[in-house]
Amino acid sequence: MNYQQQLLARFLLAPLTNYDQSHSARVRQHVAASSTLKQAAVLIPLVPRNNSFNVVFTRRARHLKHHPGQIAFPGGRYEQQDVDLIETAIRETREETGILCNRSHILGQLPSLPTISGYIVTPYLSTIPKDYRPALDPNEVDDLFEVPIQYLLNPMNMRTEKFTIDGIKHNIYAIPYSEYSIWGATAQMIKLLSKQLWY
């Protein structure tokens, strides 16, 4: 069994991991005063490379109102026409990156994660073809890149940093890679994936 097969087997057999409850409570407290959490979904695309996987990330366009220039997984807000959150993740990935995915590629999901921007985000893990051809929507995304999953899952590459928003302190994860900095909710999803695989 190669590394790629081991990862898939571990993910499919692992019990679903809970997110950090204390982080969740702080986030909910932050947004509860003025709004409710809105449903959203992202795709964690896995590309088969060298008997393992690379993970696809996007960099959000710099003109966006929310999280400009940040590294993210493709995805977005649930729309009324979406059958469910899986469709949200697949639709948003296609619209933002041109990457085509269908339900048969979905391996499973990670726990939904509340964010400080007022969303509850459900990440879905999916394989995509190794010869995918991205077509980026410049209104949403200005870059797309891959990171080997071994790098992301190596605890030596993940840092914890303190971040203060409206006087509330948050511990956030950050993963530097090449000229990119993967942090915030995206890095926390990688942390959840790591816990799911190495429970």
Per residue in 92-129, pLDDT (tens digit) is 999 999 999 999 999 989 999 988 778 899 999 999 99
Q: pLDDT band for position 54 (50/70/90)? A: very high
For tokens 């005063």, name the residue.
Answer: 33
Q: Given this model, what pLDDT does residue 26 score?
A: 47
Nearest-angstrom CA–CA distance, 40 and 46? 20
Nearest-angstrom CA–CA distance, 58 and 48? 18
CB 173 within 8 A of CB 158: yes
- Please give the tally of structural domains in the chain: 1
5: Cβ contacts below 8 Å, ≥ 6 apart = none
Indicate which CATH number applies to the domain containing 47: 3.90.79.10
Per residue in 78-96, pLDDT (tens digit) is 999 999 999 999 999 999 9
What's the Cα-to-Cα distance from 99 to each of 108, 136, 157, rounded to whole Å? Answer: 18, 9, 27
Q: What range defines the domain where residue 130 resides?
A: 3-197
Listed residue (42, 39, 68) closest to 56, CA to CA:
42
pTM for this model (two decimals) = 0.85
Structure tokens, 81? 């026409």
HSE-CB of 39 using CA atoms within 13 angstroms: 11
